[in-house]
Chain A
Amino acid sequence: MFKLRNKNKKGFSIGEVILSTFVLGVTMVSVLSLYNQGLKSFQDERDSIIASMLAQEGVELARNVRDNNWARRSGVDDTDPATFASFGVSAGNTENDCRISYNSYVMNGEEIDYGSGILCAGASYALYVNAAGFYTHNSTGATATKFRRAITLDYSNSDDIVVTSFVSWDNGNPDTSNCTTANKCVFSQSTLTNWGTGT
């Protein structure tokens, strides 16, 4: 009888070993995944900051095109070029697939990077980082990023254009109908008014 008990109490049974290993494993995996979640939220926070700045930049670039059109007129009575020249949208219309880069709008023989003004046809929204370190739509000599920027122009009202700049960071195009941080998309919007069309 005692011999038997002794035998029973020797070492751990396979069941105990498996159970303890399992408990240890679960603990470790849960701790690991906790840190992994933290890491992911850091990265997500970082990307959303970058994206919101890029979205604001899209609006600012459109503003610069508008300002330049006005500046290039010969006098206050002049209406040429039109305030919204080089915008890629005609009066009364809405364009949903536009893009502009930091050096898109170039005049007087200075470097021309990617077209001129805002382009609204066959647009790829992907943003690359070029050799000088700038985010641009021009892929030549540049490395791809996870960011994409799409700009929509609402010119349905003749007195202004509503510019909305969407940026996503999940390697997919921005969902312009449902742009939330939950689906990794942010946007910035501004209304540009039709400046100085004469006195």
Chain B
Amino acid sequence: MAINNKKINNKKGFTLVEVVVAIGMFVIIIAASSGIFARLFKSYRGAKNVNENMKNAQFALNLMSKTFRTSSVKYYIAGGGNIIVVYDYSQSSCIRYVFNGTALTKANTTIAVTESNCHNGASFVSPAIVMTSGAVTGSFYARDSRGNDSNNSSTRVGLVTVNMRITSGGAVDTGSSARIQSTSSLRDYTVSNVGIDPNNAP
């Protein structure tokens, strides 16, 4: 019996002081490292959001490039701007793309218009369709295709370059971002009278 009592005495738990000190140390270590973890989680989430938003933006960019190839540029801002209006011959539609400060939007005209009536002042469907997710800004750089029979040196094949800057947006905007860019060379030779010999039509 006596021996058993001694044994129990030996197995006594931690004292209050020991527990308090241990918990204190634990808290200090966790507190010190939680900042690092929080930062890491935040940038991880931010990067993940940017990647997801970038995939949407890339899809939108590919759709636009496909449209541009079969279109004529009807309105653009020289040197680069946030609006472009194109007439897509494959769909016979007049389309306006706008970077409105937070997203890329697309709008067709409210009624079908001819190529000559397709310009920035036409009546477009409102609200426009939002094509991107997250926070997206960007601009269009364009040269329209131009046929000039009297002065062939001013004849040219158009081109549209689009850039987009994608940030994660929302509550977890960590400042991480991605910028993508794509160029389409236009194929509207015949309709823009590009490369057509007036005396020797094909």
Q: Residues of A with Cβ closer than 8 Å to B?
A: 2, 5-6, 9, 11, 24, 28, 32, 35-36, 38-39, 42-43, 45-46, 49-50, 53-54, 56-57, 60-61, 63-64, 67-68, 70-77, 102-103, 106-108, 110-111, 129, 132-135, 145, 196
Main secondary structure of the interface of A (DSSP, over half): helix
The yes or no answer to B105 lying at the interface (CB within 8 A) is: no
**Using a CB–CB distance below 8 Å, which chain B residues touch chain A?**
6, 10, 18, 29, 33, 36-37, 40-41, 43-44, 47-48, 50-51, 54-55, 58, 61, 78-80, 137-139, 141, 143, 147, 152-157, 159, 161, 163, 165, 178-185, 189, 194-195, 197, 199-200, 202
Do A49 and B157 touch across chains, with their CB atoms under 8 A apart?
no
What are 7 sample pairs from A and B whose C-beta atoms fall under 8 A apart?
A5-B10, A28-B33, A32-B37, A46-B54, A49-B180, A71-B189, A76-B202
Q: Is the CB of A132 within 8 A of B141?
A: yes
Name the one of A43, A70, A110 contacting B195, with C-beta atoms under 8 angstroms: A70
Is A134 in contact with B37, judged by CB distance below 8 angstroms? no
**Chain B residues, CB < 8 A from A9:** 10
- State whether A61 and B40 are in contact (beta carbons under 8 Å apart), knowing that A71-B157, A110-B143 are contacts in the complex: no
- The one of A61, A67, A110, A133 in contact with B138, judged by C-beta atoms closer than 8 angstroms, is A133
- Does B80 lie within 8 Å of A42, measured CB to CB? no
B179:A50 contact, CB within 8 angstroms: yes
A102 touching B44, Cβ below 8 Å: no
User: Which chain B residues border A70 with CB–CB below 8 Å?
Assistant: 157, 195
List of 6 A-B pairs having minimum Cβ-Cβ separation, nearest first: A132-B80, A75-B197, A64-B185, A42-B47, A67-B157, A102-B161
